[in-house]
Structure 1
Amino acid sequence: MKKINLVAGGPSYLLPELGDYHDSHSTWVGIDKGAVYLLEQGIIPHIAFGDFDSVTIEEKLFLDNHSVKLTTFQAEKDATDTELALSWAIKQNPNLIRIFGATGGRLDHLLANLHIMKRFYNKNIQIKLIDRYNQAEVFLPDCYKVDKKEEYKYISFIPISEEVSGITLTGFKYPLNNCHIQLGSTLCISNELIHAQGTFSFTSGILLMIRSKD
């Protein structure tokens, strides 16, 4: 499985141990200060994108000393650094894209990153946003299996289109059958699996699934 891992410049304390996601099939990409975070965790990025306005002179030398390939953009542009990096990653045709360092800190960046996941949805490429406490993924109408993970006890389903129709949850503590939920609904927040595996399905709309731990 071909994987591309993007590391953005959000608060470093929300990053998981990136080495846990490192294997021979992974390509690592830094986004602005995220390139520094990668080096600090002992991973040399394949490439780094950004205007690097949040990188200090010392950190820039740190990147140069490790021969990190920097793709630099002007600060004044029509797309965020994360959007540019994700666009590049999609063109590499991976099976999986993981985005780290994209939560916490500025709320506008978090909301933008969630909507970028929605806009770049591709049925052939799984895109996950991951931090120390959460995993988020966007889904289009279909039926999906979800496995129980003790470290991610809570599962929430959040509509990110005007309406999600026909949502059905099986194997959950709070099941649903052919339910319709509107944008802004909190009906499907903090659910839990009661079996080793459950399913969720829906017939129209766009759904964000977030798996969380305390």
Structure 2
Amino acid sequence: MGKRCLIFGAGDFEGLYGPVREDDFLIAADGGYRYAVEQGLFPHLVLGDFDSLGSVPQHPHVVQVPVEKDDTDMMLAVKLALERGYRHMVLYGGLGGARIDHTLANLQTLLYAARRGAAAYLVGRGAVITAVSGGTLSFPSGFAGYLSVFAMGPDAEGVTLRGLKYELHNGSLSAGFPLGVSNEFTGRAAEISVAQGDLLVTWSLENPVIF
């Protein structure tokens, strides 16, 4: 799989999904620093404007940025991870919280990573969410429950869903109609691919970790 980066944001946090590996690189984005520390973790890097945390933490590697900026703290963390060569990221604290706009921004952040050849997974609220951009997402056999697929931006073309209850072969999904909601795993190996365009895919945390 290659090296992995874990990013902690300031949204709702309900615990870790799978173990932290020895070679994981940990970034805390603003208030996510508190979550990491509560889990007994010491981030390698802390960044943000620290409006959520309320103060700049005492840490040897802090990147402080202005409150008025173009990027969210989570986006800055993803950009930094990409610059350091990470192509697998797990984002915690990116859903819920007091501001729905940050949740929506984090969904766009997933797409930003996918369009640059990286796989970023947003974890929380009982679900995993990731983006697929002109590529393929595979699941091993044994997965259960619901899975939903949404087009992002222009309509997604050449969409294929295999191994699911409702299959699709070289079809289209529109960003203006939720046709891909509430599909289901069948226990077989499954695959989602898109030839042109971008997809958001979400499934239950009750399934095994694939990243």
Shared fold per TM-score greater than 0.5: yes
Task: Tell me which residue corresponds to 1:116.
Answer: 109
The alpha-carbon deviation at position 7 of structure 1 amounts to 0.3
Q: Deviations over 1:75-109 (max 9, x none)?
A: 11221111111111101102311111011121100
CA distance in 2 between partners of 1:187 and 1:49 (Å): 38
Q: What residue number does 1:80 align with?
A: 72
Matched, 1:31 2:29: yes
Task: Assess, with a 3 A threshold, how the Cα gap between structure 1 residues 197 and 8 changes in structure 2: closer, same or farther.
Answer: same
**RMSD over aligned Cα atoms:** 2.1
C-alpha separation in 1, matches of 2:142 and 2:9? 26
Matches within 5 A, 1:1-214: 1-12=2-13, 15-17=14-16, 20-56=18-54, 63-64=57-58, 67-105=59-97, 106-122=99-115, 124-148=117-141, 150=143, 153-212=145-204
The amino acid that maps onto 1:130 is V
Q: Shift of the alpha carbon at 1:110?
A: 0.9
Where structure 2 has 5 or more consecutive residues not aligned to the other structure, the ranges are 207-211
CA gap of 1:194–1:211, structure 2 versus 1, over 3 A, is same
2-side partners of 1:82 and 1:197: how far apart?
32
- Contact 1:159-1:181 within 8 A present in 2 as well: yes
Residues 68, 17 of structure 1: alpha-carbon distance in 2 compared, 3 angstrom cutoff: farther
Q: Give TM-score, length-normalised by structure 2.
A: 0.87
Structure 1 residues 17 and 117, CA, compared in 2 at 3 Å: closer, same or farther?
A: closer
Larger radius of gyration: 1
Q: Deviations over 1:130-168 (max 9, x none)?
A: 115111111123444322454x62111100021011222
Matched residue SS, 2:7: strand
User: Helix, strand or coil for the counterpart of 1:138?
Assistant: strand
Q: Structure 1: how far apart are the matches of 2:3 and 2:193?
A: 27
Q: Percent identity?
A: 27
Amino acid at match of 2:112: R
Secondary structure of the residue aligned to 1:82 is helix
Q: Which amino acid aligns with 2:106?
A: N
Quote the Cα distance in structure 1 between the aligned partners of 2:171 and 2:53. Answer: 47
Judged with a 3 Å threshold, the aligned counterparts in structure 2 of structure 1 residues 84 and 158 are, in CA distance, closer, same or farther, namely same
Residue type matched to 1:26 in 2?
D
For 2:95 and 2:63, how far apart are their aligned partners in 1? 23
Contact 1:16/1:132, CA 8 A, preserved across alignment: no
Q: Distance in 1 between matches of 2:51 and 2:102?
A: 15
Judged with a 3 Å threshold, the aligned counterparts in structure 2 of structure 1 residues 184 and 132 are, in CA distance, closer, same or farther, namely same
Q: Is the alpha carbon distance of 1:213 and 1:127 closer, same or farther for their aligned partners in structure 2, counting shifts above 3 Å?
A: closer
2:101 alignment partner, SS class: helix
